[in-house]
Chain A
Amino acid sequence: MNWWQRLRRRERLERELDAELEFHVDQLVADLMREGLTEREARRRAAREFGPLQDVKDECRRARGTEWILDLFTDARMGLRILRKERSFAAVAVGALSLGLGVSTVFFSLVYAFCLAALPFSGARRSSDISLRDDSGRQPSLTLSQARAIEDSAPVDGVGYFTTRTLPVRTRDSSARQTTVGYVSRDVLALMGNEPTLGRGLRPDEYQDTRGSIALVSGRLAADLFGNPNAALGREVLIDTVAAVIVGVIPGPRFPSRSDVWQPLAALTLAPDERALSLFAVLRPGGPGATDVSRTVESALRRRALLPGDRVHLTVAPLQSRYLADVSNPQWIAFILAGALVVLIASSNVGNLLLSQGVRRTSEIATRLSLGATRGRIFRQLLAETAILCAAAIGGGAFVAWIALRWLRAEIPPNALSDWTQIGLNWHVVGMSFAVGAMTVLLCGIAPAWQLVKTPATPWHARTTTSNRAIERWSTAFLTVQLAISMLLLCEVGLTVQLYQALAKPRAPAHLGDVLTASISLSPRKYPTPTHRAAFYAALQHRLLSTGVISNASFEAALPGTQRLPRRVAAGSIPEPGALVGSMTVDCGFFATVGVALESGRSFRADSSDTADAVLVNDRFASLFFGTTAVVGQRIRLLPPPDDPKRIAISRTIVGVVPSFADQAILNPPPLIFVPRDLGQAAASTLIVRGTEPPEDLASVVTDAIASADPDVAVANVVPLTEASWEARWLGRMSQTLILGIAAIGFLLAMIGVAALTAHRVSSRARELSVRVALGATPADVIRVVLRPLALHLVVGLFTGALLTIVWQRAFGSPGAGPGNLVLVGLLLISASALFSVWPARRAAHADPVAALNSGT
């Protein structure tokens, strides 16, 4: 019988134990009577020889090895009864812990999804990324000659290299879709374990096919084009206008990421010095390690003069490190710590609540001690109560995390993440988060339990001489932790004075609600030269404007406000080496289309006369560099990056000044320059149009106009600009919401801690306060007496918080520790603490002194 069966059948075992011992005693009595004793004497002697029956039974029960489980059940039952009695305490503690554990689970889920989850390919674990790295940490792609040289020289089991292109893909009777096409060398799909499960893979000879006449497609694209993946086999598809037959379908996760079509690398014409390829290799088990492979390959490349200069080196690293974020990056460490801090703040809160609740139970504990309960038993009982709170909070935390992760997933636009980045609850995340949470909570539960078991075993004595001072010390420590962490989290939100100033500043309106946007990409085969491309854009613009419902159209490099390249500029009062500003490349019709009127000067001309010399600046740039907005005609110098000697400084003339416009939720507008876009160089663009009808109604007009201009031009994301901008900024928005969320939760938990501490003070000093009231103290006097020690705790907590924030800033380089910010957050915490502590203090001030004195608390 195993322990579980012994536990389940314990009633039967008890009956059997009784019968067995009774049989023994009766046999002994019978033998003694046979020796001549009377039954009474025999029973007395048998009892003496056998020993105390109850002790023997206890020993037998212990021998079963299940007593500790039964004790746990008893403790848990008792704990549940007590928590049921103290419902409001239990609700606050479980609520606080659920929030803390929920938030930390969300954080760990994100860390797991972005940094730790394994790539879902059987070959990924054995593979290493081989890439170039220069002194400034950049990783330039490989040329075809470099990739082939690595393939020839690397002492490894296999090498695969690939690149991707975004190309128009369609069937003969459908419009083109923007599609990522993966061009792969022979071993890529086999080594990665990413081969078709429908149809077949590419044969060795097909990897030499330069015509691109065969292709593999993803299950998703197959379903999109032909209704279901099975129907795709043997069908024809036009990839950048060239017909290819589909021979296989890859339904699962895709490698290279986001590819929907795979073709042999030979089908792509690469210039000899075109840096386009990524490469990975499968190291030999027991063969040369990463360092040896790297050394061998690098010297082979240098021998063939394929590595330029000494500043570029070859690195070999696990493939995971190329496609997943580095968890040792300070930003991720800060992220993990922030999640852990929320658990800590919640646990400190529970510690404080347990202390407050414990003070009310000193009489009960003293009574139990005086009735014979051991201190160990009471300690275990108190920890069991904490464990019950923790178990309930784990359930609550899982629910909070589930809701938050659902929201996060809904916020992320489709196709924004790699196939292998799955955000959600899994056992790794839940286990890690709750193990950390449970450990912290139990550690925070030990201090209150330890203090409470020191209660004297005389109930009348316990009422006056409990270890109140030690309890208060613990309470203060918990509160300091909460206030300090709360301060750190609030400072990290960037709750600055400047933020409020920026919010108050009026901004020139841009009428973005009337604008529709679409991504378009041109076929490289059909539009091989700048002249071809410029002609297409001009023709399409004409076609759009002649629909009668579109008043403006322009072709941009990206959605307005989403792509600002940092550029060093010297002008006016800022000489070389200049200052960094944001640089946007815009089409001549951009400002008219987004509805922004220039403050002065003119926009770019439609012909190419402005391409080389003109620049527009925003008012912030003008006032920063020239101290005035009357800057039309001034010259500025666009400086090259210091590590790129090939580029030279360019001078441009300011032809117009643009107001800082609310194209996104930017509170503090950065200085910006706008340079004209050369459409001849643009193979892909973001089309933005303004019409006389709502943008939703313009969608079909735009897609029809593009399809009639050229069905091989791929169109995607035809949505109103406001919607596209909202989707494009998902990452920033999500990060802001997460930081705001944890700061708000941390703040709330800290305030619950303040209220709990005040309530504890009030309950532990009820008699003293009653005496004061009886002797004539006014409610204001009582409130002052209760709140005075809190002021000291606040000072300690906020000082610790300020130190913590400064340390955090040094470690992770976050901007939260400015003096203005610290003062503002400190004031916020002081005001909120006063608000949260006045309520329990007022209760004390209005309590009936006679009742308080009689209660004996």
Chain B
Amino acid sequence: MPAPRSDLPQGTLDMLVLQVLAAEPLHGYAIAQRIRRLSREVVKVPQGTLYPALHRLENRKLLAAEWKTSETGRNAKYYRLTSQGRRQLEAESRSWERLAEAVAAILRGVEGEPG
């Protein structure tokens, strides 16, 4: 049975894109697939929202792009992380981890509280 899909909290798509591109340059379709696979099908990026996010990150110079031949032999636009993007990813990751730990702690506390 497939895992239930989850809506992305606002602002997390940018962080996921940056994280996926930290390993290697990818084109838009591969980014969407990689996020889906890494999240074990939980996070399914609405494909129409991915490209505006990629273009916005490119304009903010967090990503750089170039056209290259893809595995299928067609030209595709590959995005890679810039050094500025890498710094942004580190900052956002730290912030996210702090938030996730805090939320988890709250949830644990709620569960532990006597009935």
Contact = CB atoms under 8 A, between A and B. Distances in A.
A684 B3 CA distance: 109
B29 A51 contact: no
B76 A60 contact: no
A35 interface: no
A370 B55 CA distance: 34
The bracket for how many chain A residues form the interface is 20 to 34
A59 B51 contact: yes
A27 B72 contact: yes
Interface stretch (A62-70, A127-135, A194-202, A647-655): A62-70
Contacts of A63: 52-53, 55-56, 59
A284 interface: no
Interface string A58-80: 01101111000000000000000
Contacts of A21: 51
B59 A55 contact: no
Interface string B55-82: 1100100000001001010111100000
A461 interface: no
A20 B58 CA distance: 14
A16 interface: yes
Contacts of B59: 1, 6, 63-65
B28 interface: yes
Given A20-B28, A24-B28, A28-B29, A55 B76 contact: no
A49 interface: yes
Interface string A24-57: 1011101000000000000000000111100110
Given A28-B29, A65-B59, A56 B76 contact: no
A19 interface: yes
B55 A64 contact: yes
Contacts of B47: 24, 28, 49-51
A23 interface: yes
A30 B32 CA distance: 15
Nearest to B48: A51
Contacts of A17: 51
B46 interface: yes
Given A6-B59, A51-B46, A56 B77 contact: no
Interface string A678-695: 000000000000000000
A33 to B, nearest CB: 13
A63 B55 CA distance: 6
Given A6-B59, A24-B29, A27-B29, A59 B72 contact: no
A23 B29 contact: yes
Nearest to A23: B76
A16 B27 CA distance: 13
Nearest to A49: B47
A26 B49 CA distance: 17
Contacts of A1: 59
A27 B70 CA distance: 11
Interface string B19-63: 000000001110010000000000000111101110110010000
B77 A16 contact: yes
A24 B77 CA distance: 10
Nearest to B56: A63
Given A23-B76, A63-B55, A56 B29 contact: no
Interface in B75-103: 75-77
A1, A26, A52, A63 — which one has the most chain B CB atoms within 10 A of its CB?
Answer: A63
A23 B56 CA distance: 19
Given A23-B27, A27-B72, A50 B48 contact: yes
A51 B49 CA distance: 9
B32 to A, nearest CB: 8
A28 B50 CA distance: 14
A20 to B, nearest CB: 5
Task: Choose among A1, A24, A51 the residue with the greatest number of B CB atoms under 10 Å from its CB.
Answer: A24
Interface in A330-381: none
Given A24-B28, A28-B47, A60-B52, 19 more contacts: A16-B67, A17-B51, A19-B77, A20-B51, A23-B28, A23-B70, A24-B29, A24-B47, A27-B72, A30-B72, A51-B46, A51-B47, A51-B48, A52-B48, A55-B48, A56-B52, A59-B49, A63-B55, A64-B55
25 contacts: A16-B67, A19-B75, A20-B76, A20-B77, A23-B29, A23-B76, A23-B77, A24-B28, A27-B29, A27-B72, A28-B47, A49-B47, A50-B47, A56-B51, A56-B52, A59-B48, A59-B49, A59-B51, A60-B55, A62-B52, A63-B52, A63-B53, A63-B55, A63-B56, A64-B55
Interface of B: 27-29, 32, 46-49, 51-53, 55-56, 59, 67, 70, 72, 74-77
Which 8 residue pairs of A and B lie closest in terms of their CB atoms, listed nearest first? Answer: A51-B48, A59-B52, A63-B55, A63-B56, A27-B29, A56-B48, A24-B29, A63-B52
